[in-house]
């Protein structure tokens, strides 16, 4: 611990191994110093790209190893409050409500408040729904707000078979309106053909690795610009096997997969989900690819101290090593404390 407090880091990872580093003016930067120095290695904090804060205690994230969470569907006025006044040391980004067909997923689910679902009737209503999303406000006035107090960071769209589905025109209008507003379109796609529909509509992100079917090569190739959020740990049986096969093939073509847990779905608690990390390893991620998926960082020359994690272990290369590294890790204090 003293090594980092004294301003010296044995090894820094920022997209790739950067070697020795020092702490200067609240950031960790590579240093031209002779090795070995210190004993700590440092990586960026964990980013969980799929959570539902309304189904857990958000305060449990405060000061932990997860430095950023993306809430992918809840009552919009509550979501804006989480972003504006987040748990200590955590950045919260939000999608606001689920945009779905009238009667579509997750309408009627016990866990989904009515206000968390925005039914979209047609293309005109799609444009109106996006206009609403960019202007949502918190329920209360937050004088100490540290984040934007209006609008969403991305648009969540839900496609799930066996429930009402958006037609192609309305789906396309939602994605186009999101893009016009500068918002990525994040799609929950469940059921035969739904991932391909999301891809063809121009989705930016799939909220889950496709699991209800094995995608054909053509669909994978058409969607190489779409980022997949992993959420592998919530899957079992055939769904888990399908998801792992899809990731192997998608990544083999150059596709990008990032860490996300669907926190709130199942018994997992806020914080690092070790099973999700191990599943990413099972899907073939290791080394720089694994760390980039889990931290959301693929490069850079400096790491803000408040988003840095340190452990007295070598930088991890495999999923099992990353789990062990994180068990030994601590969050660095931007004020200079331990």
Measure the CA–CA gap between 268 and 261, rounded to whole angstroms. 9
Same domain, 123 and 266: yes
Domain annotation covers residue 272: yes
Lowest mean pLDDT among 27-36, 113-122, 156-165: 27-36
* Mean predicted confidence (pLDDT) in 233-250: 98
Same domain, 226 and 310: no
Domain count, the chain: 2
Provide the angle, in degrees to the nearest 10, between the axes of the packed helices 194-201 and 168-180: 40
Q: Give the residue carrying structure tokens 């918190």.
A: 138
Domain annotation covers residue 227: yes
Burial class, 139, CB count within 10 angstroms (exposed 0-12 / middle 13-18 / buried 19+): exposed
pLDDT at position 39: 79
Domain of 283 in residue numbering reads as: 49-294
Eight-state DSSP code of residue 148: -
Tens of pLDDT, residue by residue over 80-138, are 999 999 999 999 999 999 999 999 999 999 999 999 999 999 999 999 999 999 999 87
Strand order in the sheet with 66-71: 46-51, 66-71, 91-94
pLDDT at position 36: 55
Measure the CA–CA gap between 54 and 264, rounded to whole angstroms. 8
* Mean predicted confidence (pLDDT) in 234-254: 98
Residue (of 187, 209, 326, 317) closest to 261 by Cα position:
209
* Mean predicted confidence (pLDDT) in 139-145: 54
Same domain, 62 and 186: yes
Measure the CA–CA gap between 322 and 314, rounded to whole angstroms. 10
Same domain, 10 and 98: no
| Pairing mode, strands 8-13 and 98-100 | unpaired
Same domain, 267 and 314: no
Domain annotation covers residue 17: yes
Domain annotation covers residue 338: no
Domain annotation covers residue 174: yes
Measure the CA–CA gap between 216 and 231, rounded to whole angstroms. 20
Same domain, 55 and 181: yes
Eight-state DSSP code of residue 221: H
pLDDT at position 147: 62
Question: pTM for this one?
Answer: 0.94
Same domain, 180 and 66: yes
pLDDT at position 1: 33
Same domain, 271 and 197: yes
Mean pLDDT across the chain: 93
Residue (of 153, 23, 27) closest to 95 by Cα position:
153
Domain annotation covers residue 222: yes
Measure the CA–CA gap between 296 and 298, rounded to whole angstroms. 7
For the cut 90, the answer to whether the pLDDT of residue 144 exceeds it is: no
Confidence of residue 148 (pLDDT cuts 50, 70, 90): low
The dihedral region occupied by 26, where left means phi > 0, alpha psi between -120 and 50, and beta the remainder, is left
Greater confidence, 240 or 9? Answer: 240
Asked if 185 contacts 205 with a C-beta cutoff of 8 angstroms, the reply is: yes
Domain annotation covers residue 55: yes
Same domain, 214 and 96: yes
Same domain, 205 and 317: no
Neighbours of 316 (CB within 10 A): 23
Domain annotation covers residue 226: yes
Same domain, 88 and 165: yes
For the cut 50, the answer to whether the pLDDT of residue 274 exceeds it is: yes
What is the percent of the chain where pLDDT is above 90?
86
* Mean predicted confidence (pLDDT) in 184-199: 98
Same domain, 152 and 228: yes
Lowest mean pLDDT among 132-136, 144-148, 291-295, 324-328: 144-148
* Mean predicted confidence (pLDDT) in 174-178: 98
The dihedral region occupied by 96, where left means phi > 0, alpha psi between -120 and 50, and beta the remainder, is left
């Amino acid at each position: 611990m003293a090594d980092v407090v004294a301003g010296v880091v044995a090894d820094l990872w920022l997209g790739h191994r950067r070697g020795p580093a020092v702490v200067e003016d609240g950031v960790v930067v590579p240093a031209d110093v002779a090795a070995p120095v210190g004993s700590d290695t440092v990586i960026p904090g964990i980013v969980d790209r799929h959570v539902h804060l309304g189904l857990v205690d958000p305060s449990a994230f405060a000061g932990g190893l997860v430095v950023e969470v993306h809430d992918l569907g809840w009552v919009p006025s509550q979501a804006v409050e989480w972003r504006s006044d987040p748990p200590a040391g955590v950045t919260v980004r939000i999608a606001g409500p689920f945009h779905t067909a009238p009667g579509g997923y997750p309408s009627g689910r016990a866990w989904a408040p009515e206000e968390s679902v925005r039914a979209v009737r047609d293309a005109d209503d799609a444009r109106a729904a996006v206009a609403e999303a960019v202007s949502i406000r918190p329920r209360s006035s937050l004088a100490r707000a540290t984040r934007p107090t209006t609008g969403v960071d991305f648009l969540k769209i839900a496609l799930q078979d066996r429930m009402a589905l958006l037609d192609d025109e309305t789906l396309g209008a939602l994605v186009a309106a999101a893009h016009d507003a500068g918002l990525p379109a994040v799609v929950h796609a469940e059921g035969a053909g739904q991932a391909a529909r999301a891809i063809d509509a121009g989705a930016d992100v799939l909220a889950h690795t496709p699991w209800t079917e094995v995608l054909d090569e053509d669909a994978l190739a058409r969607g190489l610009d779409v980022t997949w959020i992993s959420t592998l740990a919530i899957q079992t049986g055939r769904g888990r096997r399908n998801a792992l096969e899809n990731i192997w093939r998608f990544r083999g073509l150059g596709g990008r997969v990032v860490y996300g847990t669907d926190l709130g779905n199942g018994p997992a608690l806020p914080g690092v989900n070790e099973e999700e990390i191990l599943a990413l390893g099972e899907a073939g991620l290791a080394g720089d690819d694994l760390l980039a998926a889990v931290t959301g960082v693929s490069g850079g020359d400096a790491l803000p101290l408040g988003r840095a994690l340190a452990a007295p272990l070598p930088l991890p290369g495999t999923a099992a090593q990353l789990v062990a590294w994180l068990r030994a890790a601590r969050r660095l204090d931007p004020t200079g404390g331990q």
